[in-house]
Structures are given as structure tokens and as C-alpha cells.
Structure 1
Amino acid sequence: MRVIFALVLMVGLGLAGGAVYMARNYIEGYQSELAKERANRKPEIETVAVFVAKRSLAYGEALTKEDVALVQFPKRVVPEGAFRAVEELFPANEDRPRLVLRAMEAKEAILAVKVTRPGEDAGLTTRLERGMRAFAIKVDVASGVSGFLRPGDRVDVYWTGRVRGSGADLGSDEVTKLIEAGVSLVAIDQTANQDVEEGQVARTVTVAATPQQVAALAQAQSTGVLSLSLVGATDDTVATAIEVDQRSLLGIQREEVALDVEEDKVCTIRTRKGAEVVLIPIPCTN
């Protein structure tokens, strides 16, 4: 009995060992094939390398190689103006740094609109597009929208004054008129930083305008009072011609004065020619 029991035990152990060996080979083969498939499989989302900020960057800071890093971005959502090569962001044989134009947070993509060109100043000249000029407008707490203006905002410019000239109507009432719509602000007082956190009442605002607009604004500022109206960030409407005077504001109708037109006086004398009486015109003495 003991010999039979020993034989059965040995056969059982042999079968169990064979089963374990076969299972291990099957699992290892499955894992090997799965690894090969994963290695041969292409990534589902195509990515490209893009430079991002390693730390928070403030307006006016110099951008260095230590401040940036390359990370993988989905190719379909890479922001326009992103830098993908070190030669683009830091050109060879160029020791002058780029300056930060807009504050950036850590891991935010470095874009061309957020930094200057190498060696370029982070002043107003970088904010002006081709053909545009900077013009300063004097404002106060009322005309400057109570300190809510920021560089980068758009405003409508209104002029209030008296129209000088001859005639019964000219110069009789003050007029407020929209003279420029959707003008871009590039600076508030002496700062062009778009990331000003605290509101302050400005004394001057600087706008970007064409030479023709500059001439119109200069003439308007010297002959009346300019007021600004803040335009919404997503507002794409076009303001029409707007003009309001005191009479239209109060609903007063202008009275039309009827002029008495004196008819020309005709003087005549009567002359009889036979049986007929003829009226002959003569100059009037009175």
C-alpha cells in the first residue's frame, strides 16, 4: 500500500509540475506577444515638442534658457506662434535677451506675442502695428471709466463741445458726438503692462491710431472734452454715427419762424385811349 501511495503521489506531483510549467510558458508567451504589439503600436495622439515656462514670468523680465523647457504638446492644439526649436527662441550669435511682454504661469507655452524680439525693448513700440501711432488722451475719474481701463482694452471716444460758426443754429448748443470707435489702448499713464491687478484712476491713456485718427483726436482734444466708453472684450458690433445735443436730449423741438415776405409794390397810372382805360406802370415814389 505504501508503495502504491508513493507512486500515486509521484505521478500527481509530476502532473502538477507539468501543468505549472505549461501555464508559465503560456503566460510568458502571451506577455511577450503583448509587449511586441505595444511596442509596434503608434501613439494614438501625435505630439510635437514645444517650449514652455518653467516658472512664473512677470512683465519686463529677461527670458533665459534656464526659464524654459521642452514638453510634448498634441500637434493639433499647438498654439500659433509657439517656439519648437531652440534656434527660434534663442538665435545663434545673439547675446541680447528677449523680454516678457505678458505675464506667464509655469508650464504655459512661450508664444511670439508674449515676448519681444532679441534685444528689443518691452515698450510701446512693440505694441504698435505697422502704420499705427501712439497718441495720449487726458482723462479723469469720469472720462476714464473710473480706473477700470487696462492696456489691451478697446474704447469708443466721444467729443463734447460747441460748434463755432455763423448762422442761427451753429454754436447755440453743446454737442456730444462719437468720433472714434473701437480704439485700442496700449498704455495707462506710464505703464504698458496688461497684467495690472489693482485699478487706478489714470491721468492719461495712450491709444494706437492711424495718422488720420491722431489728427482728429488732437483737434477734438484742443476744442472740447474727450470721454471714453469701454467696449466689451467679445463685442464685435460696429458703432454707428452718434450725435446728441441739448435739444435732442431734452426732446425740445426747434420752432420754425415764419418770415413775412413783402410783396413787390407796383404803381400805375390810368390812361384812357378812346373807350378803353389802360394801366401804365410807373416807378413808385413812396
Structure 2
Amino acid sequence: MRIVFAAVLLAGLGLAGLAVILAKDYVSTLKAGQSSVVPMTKVIALKADVAYGEPLARDDLKFIELPSAVVPAGAFTEVDAMFPKGYDVPRTVLRAMAANEPVLASKVTAPGEDAGVATRLSTGMRAFAIRVDVASGVSGFLRPNDRVDIFWSGALPGRNGEVTRLIDTNVRIVAVDQSVDAERTKAVVARTITVEATPRQVASFAQAQSSGRLSLALVGALDESVSEMVEIDQRELLGIEDEPVVAAAPAPQTCSIRTRRGSEVVEMPIPCTN
């Protein structure tokens, strides 16, 4: 009986060992197959979380491997490309990033630049500041990269009362007061909003701001529609309809002749004839 038990035990141990060896060989073969099938690329990533406005130095970075097919556009694969002017000329973070996240060119400034408004403008665009308050600035909930519709309120020549008109749509905000940080979550009542605009838009906004008041309406983050032309005056706002113009009745036609009686001239009415 003991001999049978020992034989069964030895057979079980042998099968278990064989299974471990086969599994190990299979995993090694699988890894070797994957490494040969999926090409990998080393990209520069972050060692720790970074916030907006922080400079990036060499010690803040490391290399990680990503499948070559999924390397994001703008990723840095060489240290010389990240610091072309040397390690003592850092780049500044434009958007908050997490540890192990690849560093992209769109999320950092050029070497030596700070995270100012000039780095946020698109080619051919200009920055224009609009004066706002709690009401016109959407109660302080505007942030950089938000988009707004701009309304003008003022008096038009030859019109009674004020008019409010939509003058531009989907205008991108690049700064709120002195901040271009798009990651902030706290509402701040701003005094100025800086928007990105073409030179013609800048001229329009300057004229509108000098001749009336500008108000902003926040556009939804997922809203891709374009607002239509809107204009409302006080009469339309209050529902006052224009009174119909009643044509005056024509005055009755009268005819007369004048005759002289001595030293007097007498006017006598007679029937009118065509």
C-alpha cells in the first residue's frame, strides 16, 4: 500500500514539474513573439505630476517605451529635440500633466519661453482685451480656451432707445485677467477677458467697446452650432407694437371768386368744376 502511495506521489510531482516547465517555456515564447511583432519606441515622459507654469528640467524627465503605432503626435524621442538650446534653457508647462505621461510639443512652450499669452495665439491671430464685470463676464466662470458669443449694446443713429446685437460668435478666450491657466476650477470675477481675434475682429471689437457695452455668453464645450444674427431693441423686448399710421382725410375742396365793390374786395364761394 505504501509502495502504491509513493508511486502516485512521485508521478504527481513529476507531472506538476513538467507543467511548470511547459508553462514557463510558453510564456517565454509568447514574450519573444510579442517583442518581435510589436515594435517599440522610446519617448520622453514625466517622472512626477507637473502643474501649469512649471519649468521642465532634465531631472524631471525619463524615457518610457510605447508601441510605435500609438506614439502620440508631438512626442519627443530624443533629449536634444527636447532641449535644443541646452539643459539650462528649460521649457514651461502649458497644461497640467501626470506622471508617466509623454511630453508633447503642444503642452510645453518653446525653449526659454514662459507660459504667457503670446504662446497661446494661433498663427495670424491677435490678442484683444475686453472689459467685463460680474454680469458681462458670466459671473467669473470663464476660463482660458472657453469660447464665447459677443453681444454689443448701445444706441444706433436714428433709432429710439438702445439695441443689443450679436456681433461675433465662438471667439476663443486666451486669458482671464493675467492668467492663461486653463486648469483652474475656482470662479474668479475678472475685470478683463483676453480673446483671440483676427485684425479685422480686433478693429470691430475696439469700435464696439468704445461706442457701447460688450457682454459675453459662454458657448457649451460640445456645442458645434453657429449662432445666427440676433438684434433686439427695447420695443421688441417689451412687446410694444408700432401704432398704425392713419392717413388724414383729405380736406374738402372749396372754390370762390373775388369781386370788387367800391373799395372792398369780396370773396364769394361758388361750386367747383373740373
Scaled to the shorter chain, the TM-score interval is 0.7 to 0.9
Paired residues of 1:153 and 1:233 also in contact (CA < 8 A): yes
Is 1:148 aligned to residue 141 of structure 2? Answer: yes
Residue of structure 2 aligned with 1:101, choices 80, 94, 97: 94
Is 1:37 aligned to residue 29 of structure 2? Answer: yes
Q: Which moved more, 1:193-202 or 1:29-38?
A: 29-38
Is 1:257 aligned to residue 245 of structure 2? Answer: yes
Residue of structure 2 aligned with 1:214, choices 202, 213, 221: 202
RMSD of aligned alpha carbons: 3.2
State the distance in 1 between where 2:25 and 2:185 align.
58
State the distance in 2 between where 1:223 and 1:31 align.
80
State the distance in 2 between where 1:53 and 1:80 align.
17
| Cα shift at 1:73 | 2.3
What are structure 2's unaligned runs of at least 5 residues?
Answer: 256-274
What are structure 1's unaligned runs of at least 5 residues?
Answer: 1-11, 165-169, 268-286
Residue of structure 2 aligned with 1:66, choices 59, 62, 65: 59
Residue of structure 2 aligned with 1:195, choices 156, 176, 183: 183
State the distance in 2 between where 1:141 and 1:262 align.
57
Paired residues of 1:157 and 1:180 also in contact (CA < 8 A): yes
Give the residue type in structure 1 aligned to 2:168. Answer: E
Paired residues of 1:138 and 1:204 also in contact (CA < 8 A): yes
| Cα shift at 1:35 | 6.7
TM-score normalised per structure 1:
0.75
Fraction of identical pairs, as percent: 49
User: What secondary structure, in the 3-state scheme, does the structure 2 residue paired with 1:178 have?
Assistant: strand
User: What secondary structure, in the 3-state scheme, does the structure 1 residue paired with 2:142 have?
Assistant: coil
| Cα shift at 1:45 | 5.0
Is 1:243 aligned to residue 235 of structure 2? Answer: no
**Structure 1 residues 59 and 39: alpha-carbon distance in aligned structure 2, compared to 1, 3 A threshold:** closer
Paired residues of 1:94 and 1:118 also in contact (CA < 8 A): no
**Structure 1 residues 153 and 261: alpha-carbon distance in aligned structure 2, compared to 1, 3 A threshold:** same
Partner of 1:273: none
Say which one has the larger Rg: 1
State the distance in 2 between where 1:105 and 1:69 align.
13
State the distance in 2 between where 1:201 and 1:66 align.
38
Give the residue type in structure 1 aligned to 2:102. Answer: A
Aligned length: 247
User: What secondary structure, in the 3-state scheme, does the structure 1 residue paired with 2:34 have?
Assistant: coil
